[in-house]
Amino acid sequence: MVYAPHYYDGITLMTKKWNRLWNVDVFGVLRGRYLTPASAIKLGETAIRNCLRDQLSAIRKEGEDYMGNHPCVLTEFGIPFDMDDKHAYKTGDYSSQSSAMDANHFAVEGSLMGGYTLWQYMCQNKHQLGDQWNGEDLSIFSLDDLPLPLSPTAASRSNESTISFLQHTGLNTRESLDKSTVNPGNLKAKLRTPSITSRMMDVPELTNNPGFRAAEAYVRPSPVAIAGTILSYGFDLRNCTFTLKLLVHKTGSDAQTTDISLPGFHFPKDKCEVTVTSGKWTITTDDSDNSSIQRLRWWHLDGEQTIKVTGVPLPHHGPSSGPIVLPPLPHALGIVPSFCVNGQKTLVMKEKVWALAQGNFQIRDESNVELLQCKAKLFSLHHQKFFYDMQGNELWSLKHKLLSIPRQYYGEGPDGREVFHVQGHWHLGGARVTVSFVNTAGNSEPIELALSGNWIDRYGTITRNDRPVAQITRDYFNTRQILGDADTYYVTIAPGMDIALIVSLCVMYDEEMRKQRCNQGRLLKVGVLDPRAA
């Protein structure tokens, strides 16, 4: 007999948002553990993750109290993928879904459930119709989604790989659907364990191979066969570490054996670091039955034993976010040709703490190489911020026009010419503005950028013709912000996009949000549009 409960994070499921600010211990409220429901509110992402874990632990304990010592298997849990008004379907940014999925798995692992089944896999899911049942969209698979990269490192145009259960390339949507459908003729083959495969592919948006969304959060290592009792285990997605602690009872043999499923997505065989308290280990790959399963086998002694496996961490684009791969632009877009990168680039923008003039940023890549400088001019009438390359050459200064309603910003070159212009409507919740400039980095045509922002969201996206060209993330409630009112931004930029221009827009938003917010979180959603697409 098995205790088989279901559990969903109701706040996320009903609002269709991953709320990092607050959540509620619903199970505790239902069981009367709080004097008032307000006492059950949990603040901050760490507290929310711990709250989900504690609720599942209480559910498991309740089963033991009423049913005795029987396994507890969580037979249904999942997240809605159509979060944020289907924002991910327009931009390819599944960071919210990845964070929510990771939090749920953190809860399952921390509660020591005997197992789980994820809701759900729907082979005919599409963005418009979802799971085609009850208005739900919880499937980890969709015909309209692109495969995710196999490597945790963002791939270049000439060498990209994917997570895909499809074994062949060049399948159109109809063929993919046929191969996804289960019928009596292919039932045996469909029951085989699928593998994560790597293959060469074209630019992601030009392929028709359906993919698995937020897979980095649910493709996780897990214990398979344990010689003893599990004391704790868990997978840290951000740092890509798996830790297992167990208590092994004496059996008289020299060594006990424990098996762990170790997916190659996070743990490439030749890039794993394993530390154990005793014994030896080996990593093998089982390629039988048309599948590829990587396992770690550990021979250890009796007593309390621990193993820690470190894989390849995902590129850091903010808390709990997954890898971001952006397709290259057909031609350079921007003002300064030398800042239109050939490959994808991730920038870390750190505002200097307690600077005399707010808005001084350090702009570095993930290798800690400084690429740009942003310096605010103290006591400036126009609140100027100057942008320089690393040779000290001024690119332009960011200013706002005095007495303009609504407020207008513009970039002024060293020769006094206006290089870009920003105007629109700013309000407490966000903004809708446009940016105009001549594409001197590319085809010299006039370009208009449409920007919209939301101060509360931490994640932003920049798109061109509905194709993402940049992703922006802001650390929330970090020490730098709390103590020094200084923010840290992570900006991932597609090949061909002007780094300096994107950085300037981020700095402009940072300045405007200081004027608009009332102790609210702040970040932007940016849409970059070509006027010819209208």
- Residue 468: partners with Cβ closer than 8 Å, 6 or more residues away: 91, 92, 93, 326, 327, 461, 462, 494
Per annotation, catalytic residue among 62, 64, 76, 304 = 76
**For residue 135, what are its two tokens?**
């208005």
Tokens read off for 45 = 């992402």
Residues 490 and 415: beta-carbon distance below 8 Å? no
Question: For residue 459, what are the β-bridge partners?
Answer: 473
Distances from the Cα of 388 to the Cα of 152, 374, 413, angstroms = 32, 7, 11
Task: Please give the single-letter amino acid code of residue 481.
Answer: Q
- 304 carries an active-site annotation: no
Supply 162's token pair.
């994917």
For residues 530 and 273, give the distance between their C-alpha atoms in angstroms, rounded to a whole number: 47
Single out the residue of 373, 311, 312, 385 nearest to residue 347, CA to CA: 373
Contact between 145 and 210 (Cβ < 8 Å) = yes
Q: 3-class secondary structure for 458-504? A: CEEEEEECCEEEEEEEECCCCHHHHHHCCCEEEEEECCCEEHHHHHH
State the virtual CA torsion across 51, 55, 58, 64 in degrees, nearest 10: -140
Instruction: Count the alpha carbons within 13 Å of 192 in the hemisphere toward its beta carbon.
Output: 16
CB 520 within 8 A of CB 20: no
Q: What are phi and psi of 515, to 5 degrees?
A: -75, -30
Between the CA of residue 184 and those of 188, 189, 191, 318, what are the distances in Å? Answer: 8, 10, 11, 45
DSSP 77: E
**Residue 181, amino acid:** T
Task: Report the catalytic residues.
Answer: 76
